[in-house]
Structure 1
Amino acid sequence: MAEPISIEGQRAWLKHYGESSRALALGLLNFVARRFRLDALRPPPHRGGAQAREVEARRLLELKAQGVNVPAVIGEGKAALLLEHTGASFNTCLREADAAGRDRLVAAAIAAIASAHRDGAYFGQPLPRNMTWDGHSVGFIDFEEDPLEVMDLDRAQARDWLMFGYGVAKYYETRPQVLEAMLAEAMEGADRPVVDHAHEVTGRLQALARLLQRAGKSGQALARAILVVHSATAFGFLALVVLSLDWLADGELDLLALLT
């Protein structure tokens, strides 16, 4: 949990790390990912308290050294970090923007992810809610987990594109071809193993996408995300894994009932 505070007139964020209670859910996700050979979607350990704080502090330092726009650590406690404010919520900016504005924001985010990948960086969950925008640059937040604990760098970068595509596809309900084009251009510069890993995932998910197209609004949105990213990059999503990762982050999982 993070709360805004003011230090000498400057905004900052105090992030508290509670104890984790997700062992059962993570175990289930890991089983599903292994069962369907979807290594790029294996969930990394989610720790709590001081351990989660240590993981995030380390990841922030690593990403900062790689030139990624992440918050500086201003201070820390046993199970808390005081973090620099890096801009408004990217998710909020997307919701409030018109079509052209969304395209500019998404293009900026794609460029930031691609640039970070070229320098050997990876994120974990670059969803809009874990990103910021200061009017000029995209920032990234929330690094309590480290995908490299359960996968290699190529798979971790493939996971980044899967998560990002899932997160922004809902904003392109009537213009999926625009998102396809932006992602396809980005994939032209991605390392071949990253594209290969993502292609391996998508081959097993087209039937699921077709089923979800007959579901409710949320199911149709997820199906659209699968098909858009598949068309652009040969990527896809295992709905149960992605939605469960989403629930682990924000406690919401309203679509799972459609899959049971």
Structure 2
Amino acid sequence: MNEQLHALVERTLAKGVGARVFPLRWDNRRIWVKQSVRAKHKVWHRVQRFAANITGIPLLRPTVSPGGQAGLESEAATLRKLAQVGVLVPDLIDVADHWIAIGDNGRILKNCIEDDVLKGDDNAVRAYVVDAGKALARLHGEGVAHGAPLLRNMTLRDDGQIGFIDFEEDPNARMPIADAQARDVLLFVFSIQREFKKRPELLRAGWQAYVQAAGETAPQLVPLRKVVRLLRPIYLLLRPFRRWLGTDALNGLWAYRTLRKSLYR
């Protein structure tokens, strides 16, 4: 452990930072310090586990972080592993008893897209979403899954490449890799729909970019087709009541429709 960095972080924490993740200047660059938190096990996670057991669909298993030091160690191990295979993740600088320090990985992709939406730069917006889909496919090509590949957990680096942050969840250890990657895809397309619900073409662009990069015979599309098929009765049941559904439920319906049309065309 770097004693000077450790002292700086501890001094900063003692002053009160008001955030779990906060930036610092260290070694002439910006770094980020991420504090440990308690495990987030909730009733919903037990429901997920029950659904996974009943349906036989591994990707429904909960992947909540173990929290505490175990959660930090898990994320640190994931960062090391992904960096070794060339995935663009923050460099791991230090691991302490209740925090980790990582390098800066660029601007949050979701914020970059929102900025260009406000500017009316449709070409840039679409390019970002397409690049995100390709980047996720490349990550999957290395035989790993992210766990929560939402637009807010992707970054735009200085060289224009898409990187990834936030590896608290580790589906790789809780289900077959193909199922973990299928789960990634579901979360990715839902993230696009949720953030840009009035731009369905962005959802299609991100999904199509992923499939083209991963390949239509990619193993992860097998469990994805299975879960899409099993969700069809729920989709048909909810569709007539869409005007009364909440925002997330509606976004789920639209994302589901796009996936089904493509997977079963």
Q: TM-score range by the shorter chain?
A: 0.7 to 0.9
Q: Is the 8 A contact 1:13 1:84 kept in 2?
A: yes
> SS at the partner of 2:145?
coil
Of 229, 234, 237, which aligns to 1:208? 234
Deviation at residue 172 of structure 1 after TM alignment: 4.8
Counterpart check, 1:162 vs 2:186 = yes
Q: Secondary structure at the match of 2:155?
A: strand
Is residue 132–residue 206 contact of structure 2 (8 Å, CA) maintained in 1? no
Distance, in Å, in 2 between the alignment partners of 1:57 and 1:65 is: 13
Alignment partner of 1:85 is 2:130: no
Per-residue deviation, 1:8 = 3.8
Matched, 1:16 2:26: no
Quick one: distance in 2 between partners of 1:145 and 1:171? Answer: 21
Match of 2:12 in 1: none
Tell me if 1:173 matches 2:197: yes
For residues 1-260 of structure 1, the aligned pairs below 5 Å read 1-22=20-41, 24-98=43-117, 99-135=122-158, 136-177=160-201, 179-188=203-212, 189=215, 191-210=217-236, 211=238, 213-214=242-243, 215-233=245-263
Contact 1:74/1:82, CA 8 A, preserved across alignment: yes
* Cα 1:133–1:208 shift into 2, 3 Å: same
Structure 2 CA distance for aligned equivalents of residues 48 and 219 of structure 1: 28
Q: Output the amino acid matched with 1:164.
A: F
Cα distance in 1, alignment partners of residues 64 and 73 from structure 2: 13
Residue matched to 1:246: none
**Structure 2 portions without partners, runs of 5+:** 1-19
Distance 2:67 2:225 in 1: 33
Letter in 2 for 1:117: H
Q: Matched residues in 1 for 2:49 and 2:228: separation?
A: 18
Q: Give, in angstroms, the shift of residue 15 of structure 1.
A: 0.2
- Please state how far the C-alpha of 1:216 moved relative to its aligned partner: 4.0
Whole-Å Cα distance in 2 between the matches of residues 15 and 221 of structure 1? 31
Q: Is the 8 A contact 1:66 1:121 kept in 2?
A: no
Inter-CA distance 36–97: structure 2 relative to 1 (3 Å threshold): farther
Residues 181, 232 of structure 1: 8 Å contact kept: no
Between 1:6-15 and 1:212-221, the stretch displaced more is: 212-221
Q: Tell me which amino acid in the other structure corresponds to 2:85.
A: Q
Given that 1:166 and 1:222 are in contact with CA atoms closer than 8 Å, whether structure 2 keeps it comes out as yes
> Alpha carbon RMSD of aligned pairs, Å?
2.2
- Report how far residue 171 of structure 1 moved: 4.5
* d(CA) in 1 for partners of 2:99, 2:217: 36
Partner AA of 1:159 in structure 2: R
Instruction: Tell me: CA distance 1:94–1:51, structure 2 relative to 1, closer, same or farther (3 Å).
Output: same
Helix, strand or coil at the partner of 1:205: helix
For 2:147, the aligned partner's letter is G
- Say whether the 8 Å CA contact 2:194–2:248 is kept in structure 1: no
Higher-Rg member (1/2): 2
Aligned length: 234
Task: Specify the SS of the correspondent of 2:147.
Answer: coil
Deviation at 1:138, TM superposition (A): 1.1
Question: Residue 38 of structure 1 contacts residue 201 of structure 1 at CA under 8 Å; is this kept in 2?
Answer: yes
| C-alpha distance in structure 2 between counterparts of 1:190 and 1:49, whole Å | 39
Deviates more, 1:111-120 or 1:20-29: 20-29
| Distance in structure 2 (CA, Å) of the matches to 1:87 and 1:195 | 30
Give the 3-state SS of the residue equivalent to 2:128 in structure 1.
Answer: helix
Q: Percent identity?
A: 28
**TM-score of the pair, normalised by structure 2:** 0.80
CA drift of 1:25 comes to 3.7
Counterpart in the other structure of 1:256:
none
The answer as to whether partners of 1:180 and 1:231 remain within 8 angstroms in 2 is: no
Letter in 2 for 1:161: V
Q: Which SS does the other structure have where 1:132 is aligned?
A: strand
